[in-house]
Amino acid sequence: MTNLDVPYLVLAGGLFAVGAFGLLYRRNPLVMLMCVELMLNAVNLTFVTFGRMMNDLNGQVIVFFVLVVAAAEVVVGLAIIVAVIRRRPGASADDLKVLRG
Amino acid sequence: MVAALVAQAGAATSTIPSLSGAPAASAVTTAVPGTDPNAINTIATPPIDWSAIMPMVVLFAGAVLLITVTSLMRRKPKGFYAAWTIITVLIAMATAVPLWARVQGWTDIAGQTAFLGLEYQPPFFGPFSAVAGAVGVDGFTIFATFVICISVALGALAADSYLRREGLEGPEFYVLMLISAAGGVLLASSNDLIALFLGLETMSIAVYVMAAMHLKRVQSQEAGMKYFVLGAFSSAFLLYGIAMLYGATGTTNLIGMKNVLSATIPLNNALLMLGFGFVLVGLGFKVSAVPFHSWSPDVYDGAPTPAVVYMASGVKVAAFAGMVRVFVVAFGQYAADWQPIVYALAVLSLAGGAVLGAVQTNVKRMLAYSSISHAGFLLMAVEASNGVGTSALLFYLAVYVFMVAGAFGVAALVGRQGDGRHSLDDYRGLGRTNPLLSASLVVFLLAQAGVPFTSGFLAKFYAIGAAVSAGSTYLAVVAVISSVIAAFIYLRIIVAMYMSEGGDGGAELRPTPEDHIRVPATAGFGIALCVLVTIGFGLFPDTLTRLSEQATPALVEEVTPPGSGQATAGGPTGPIAVDPTGGGSPGGATGAPAGGPGG
């Protein structure tokens, strides 16, 4: 383990936190989607860093799996956002309040 | 990853000593890295035991073929999609039967006979791992597979008439449900955290679409959006947790993790604990445990009701199965560390589900909160972290699927055209207009309340027994109290159906003959089946109890049959899986692709 890699873990943690807070704070559906991507990529960075620290290639291979999943998620997320925006142009997450109880 | 997994699977020590003549330790190395100049170009793919993953393959192939065939057919017979889905599911279950026979060691069936015309001779009996240790096949997996398949069939029965009524007829719903089920089966059988993640995502992404499927309803889109955002949020947490567990143990394979953790004290305990926490957050979202439940009433309310039939049953089963695999089976020795979190989640879910559900006026939301309360019971069985808890969980899941699918199946019919009439007022007088339908809803609600002679009673009884067996007496007390409060939810619906005049809200709605709901044959069949099973397992639970007790989870390293040409060499298992010197030792043979860059 080299300590040189630790800053990357910290950076990844920071990115993850930025993504998480952004998702909770921002109301634009597209920005929320970007925040999810940021979180997933922060995890990717974590995987790569751990893989490097332990001299293990698995950490880097996992990133490909995550990328594929993230791509699939974006496809579905964008489709849902498009369906919502078509119906209510300019809708933000605050406009989604039909379901209450 | 795959190649390194093989190396680890070979080195892992068996946790179940039932494998007679397991050749793992005596496997020979066939390739010496360093001598082959093209080593970097050859990827040692693991041998794939197709029979082990056949239920998944069948479900997925059924989905792909369904969408292909229907795009080629000019006119489809009525009910074609649902029939296809149910047949696919039945085939998937049929392929799981020989696996069960093999795992349980039924030599008279799997020993020397042919299955579907194929000579099938398993190399050994007992639980096993396949696909480089990424997929585990044990009684637990197969039981969960069966339950997930059943929930898909019930979802298809509810969806058939619903989609036609709503003008949404098409193969997509069924295709998504089958793909989601394939993901769920992978999640329930994953022996590797990456397989777990992939299974969870395959399952969830399809369900996001199903929730947003009813394009004419604003509520459905909103449900899809909320489910997607919170689902993606939770999967990111789960993945971050996996990354931390990987950092703490050096592998994503549950077998490898277990071995690493039992052999050494991890260098970084904080990472391990954070990993547990994050993975629990991710899975807690999926099982809608309080405080991660906020999406579920909205999604259950807004999503098309047949989608909820599947979502509330199949998705929950798979998520709980994944939770047991990770926490009870792989990290059982660290139970003292994760049990308090699950304990807290269970208490919060039990109390929160019952109390919040009691103040609802929308039946679908009430059922959503009641399913949160059920999640509390299931978490209680997980918290026990022993064999009693696991079989209690499986029993609960198996009967829960029928109760919840039946209840939402009735809701799909009562919602009528537009799927919007779900308030308590819409259920008033149902007892007179539709005696059979309301009587079956009463059965499901009483079963969910845990009334004796229904399957729900025994399910709750076993779950509470599991908590007591693990010494969590206070948790059991909370469960009993919360089930009393939750009974109020169910009784409110029953009262609304049978005593519509006066009381409980006021609104005096006299049912007219036009209020009679026509029950389509498929939906009626599905509901009748659920009633039969709910009462049947309440009166004669022995078979299911025995099955759930036999369905024990196991983590067994992969054993390659001798002479298959694949080397399961004993590679290093520590946090450093690849020899930093370039894999010079014969031990790292199958780690060649991994070791390549270092050399």
Q: Which of B381, B375, B372, B399 is nearest to B459 (CA)?
A: B399
Contact B424, B493 (CB under 8 A): yes
- DSSP code, position A93: G
**B215–A101 C-beta distance less than 8 A:** no
In terms of CA atoms, which chain A residue is nearest residue B572?
A: A56
List chain B residues with CB under 8 Å of A72: 201, 205
Provide the residue-wise pLDDT of chain A in tens; the chain has 101 residues: 556 788 999 999 999 999 999 998 888 888 999 999 999 999 999 999 999 988 888 899 999 999 999 999 999 999 999 988 888 777 777 777 766 65
Structure tokens at A88: 């209510």
Condensed to tens digits (0 to 9), the pLDDT of residues B290-346 reads: 899 989 999 999 999 999 999 999 999 999 999 999 999 899 888 888 999 999 999
Structure tokens at B386: 């022993």
**A80–B208 C-beta distance less than 8 A:** yes
Q: Identify which of B232, B297, B575 has the shortest CB distance to residue A54.
A: B575
C-alpha pair distances (Å), B210 with each of A55, B206, B372, B410: 42, 6, 20, 19
Burial pattern B492-524, b for ≥16 Cβ within 10 A else e, equals: bbbbbbbebeeeeeeeeeeeeeebeeebbebbb
A65–B contact, CB cutoff 8 A: yes
Q: Identify which of A39, A61, A84 has the shortest CB distance to residue B221.
A: A84
- Complex ipTM > 0.90: yes
Residues with Cβ within 8 Å of B182's Cβ and at least 6 positions away in sequence, in order, are B56, B59, B60, B63, B202
Task: Give B172-205 as a DSSP string.
Answer: HHHHHHHHHHHHHHHHHTBSBHHHHHHHHHHHHH
Task: Compute the distance between CA of residue B159 and CA of residue A42 in angstroms, rounded to an integer.
Answer: 39
List chain B residues with CB under 8 Å of A61: 1
Q: Which of B52, B24, B202 is nearest to B135 (CA)?
A: B52
For residue B578, is pLDDT > 90?
A: no
- DSSP code, position A74: H
Task: Compute the distance between CA of residue B153 and CA of residue B150 in angstroms, rounded to an integer.
Answer: 5
Q: What is the mean pLDDT of chain B?
A: 82
pLDDT score at B20: 37
In terms of CA atoms, which chain B residue is nearest residue A98?
A: B219
The β-bridge partners of B128 are: B137
In terms of CA atoms, which chain A residue is nearest residue B211?
A: A80
Q: Long-range contacts: B523-528, Cβ < 8 Å, 24+?
A: B523/B157, B523/B158, B523/B160, B523/B161, B523/B162, B523/B409, B523/B412, B523/B413, B525/B157, B526/B154, B526/B157, B526/B158, B526/B405, B526/B406, B526/B409, B527/B406, B527/B409, B527/B410, B527/B437, B527/B440, B528/B440
CA angle A42, B311, B235 (to 5 degrees): 5
Q: Identify which of B240, B297, B593 has the shortest CB distance to residue A46.
A: B240
**B208–A76 C-beta distance less than 8 A:** yes
**B578–A55 C-beta distance less than 8 A:** yes
Task: Compute the distance between CA of residue B452 and CA of residue B458 in angstroms, rounded to an integer.
Answer: 8
pLDDT score at B357: 92
Which residue ranges make up each domain of chain A? 3-93
List chain B residues with CB under 8 Å of A23: 229, 233
Condensed to tens digits (0 to 9), the pLDDT of residues B44-92 reads: 777 888 888 999 999 999 999 999 999 998 888 888 999 999 999 999 9
First CA to last CA distance, chain B: 18
Top-confidence range, B95-109, B190-204, B407-421: B190-204
The CATH number, out of the four listed (3.40.50.20, 1.25.40.420, 1.10.287.3510, 3.90.230.10), of the domain defined by the range A3-93: 1.10.287.3510
Q: Identify which of A39, A56, A101 has the shortest CB distance to residue B576.
A: A56
